[in-house]
Amino acid sequence: MWPEPSPRGAFTLRRQRLDALLPGPKLLPAGLSRPRNFAHNPYPFRAESHFLYLVGRGLEGALLLVDAERTALYVDPPHPDDALWFGAKPGLAELSRELQIAVRPLDDFVAPDGVALLPPQDAETAFLLADRVGRDVEAGGGDDVTGRDALLADAMIELRLRHDDAAVAQLRQAAAVTCAAHGAGRDATLPGRREAAVRAAMEHAIIENGMTTAYGSIVTVHGEVLHSTEHHRELRPGDLLLADVGAETPEGFAGDVTRVWPVNGRFSSTQRALYEVVLSAQRAAIDSVRPGVRYRDVHRAAGLAMTRALVDVGLFAGDPEDLYARGAAALFFPHGVGHLLGLDVHDMEDLGDRAGYAPGRSRAVSRGDRYLRLDRDLEPGMCVTIEPGFYRIPALLADPDSLGDLKSSLSFAMLEKLADVRGIRIEDDVLVTATGAEVLTASIPKRIEDVERA
Residue 412 binds its own copies, judged by CB under 8 A: no
Residue 41 binds its own copies, judged by CB under 8 A: yes
Q: Indicate if the alpha-carbon torsion angle 222, 335, 421, 429 is positive or negative.
A: negative
Q: Which of 70, 135, 227, 453 binds its own copies (CB under 8 A)?
A: 227
Residue 37 binds its own copies, judged by CB under 8 A: yes
Rounded alpha-carbon distances, angstroms, from residue 230 to 216, 218, 384, 417: 11, 8, 27, 27
Q: Which of 95, 205, 247, 274 binds its own copies (CB under 8 A)?
A: 205
Of 220 and 280, which has the nearer Cβ to its own copies? 220
Identify which range of 289-297, 341-349, 381-389, 435-443 contacts its own copies by CB under 8 A. Answer: 341-349
Residue 292 binds its own copies, judged by CB under 8 A: no
Q: How far is the CB of 220 from its own copies (least distance, A)?
A: 9
Q: Which of 204, 272, 294, 361 binds its own copies (CB under 8 A)?
A: 204
- Restricted to residues 100-139, the positions that interact with its own copies (CB under 8 A) are 121-124, 127, 139
| 244 residue type, one letter | D
Of 6 and 288, which has the nearer Cβ to its own copies? 6
Identify which range of 61-69, 105-113, 222-230, 306-314 contacts its own copies by CB under 8 A. Answer: 222-230
CB 236 within 8 A of CB 191: yes
Q: How far is C-alpha 77 from the chain's CA centre?
A: 34
Residue 403 binds its own copies, judged by CB under 8 A: no
What is the distance between the alpha carbons of residues 179 and 99, in angstroms, rounded to a whole number?
31
Q: Which of 6, 49, 173, 189 binds its own copies (CB under 8 A)?
A: 49
Cβ atoms < 10 Å from Cβ of 327: 19
Closest-CA residue to 47 (of 60, 36, 34, 35): 60
Q: Which of 93, 365, 395, 434 binds its own copies (CB under 8 A)?
A: 395
Residue 408 binds its own copies, judged by CB under 8 A: no
Contacts of 165 (CB under 8 A, 6+ apart): 10
| 314 residue type, one letter | G
Residue 434 binds its own copies, judged by CB under 8 A: no
Of 77 and 318, which has the nearer Cβ to its own copies? 77
Residue 400 binds its own copies, judged by CB under 8 A: no
Q: Which of 230, 321, 322, 379 binds its own copies (CB under 8 A)?
A: 230
Identify which range of 265-273, 275-283, 312-320, 390-398 contacts its own copies by CB under 8 A. Answer: 390-398
Listed in order, strand segments (DSSP E) in 76-156 are: 103-105, 116-117
Cβ atoms < 10 Å from Cβ of 453: 11
Q: Which of 69, 84, 400, 450 binds its own copies (CB under 8 A)?
A: 84
Closest-CA residue to 332 (of 278, 260, 295): 278
What is the distance between the alpha carbons of residues 282 and 123, in angstroms, rounded to a whole number?
40
What is the distance between the alpha carbons of residues 46 and 32, in angstroms, rounded to a whole number?
8
Cβ atoms < 10 Å from Cβ of 331: 26
Q: Which of 102, 130, 157, 225 binds its own copies (CB under 8 A)?
A: 225
Runs of H (alpha helix) within 238-268: none
The residues binding its own copies (CB under 8 A) are: 2, 34-44, 46, 48-49, 80, 83-88, 121-124, 127, 139-140, 142, 194, 196-197, 199-201, 203-210, 215-216, 222, 225-232, 252, 334, 343-346, 349-350, 393-396
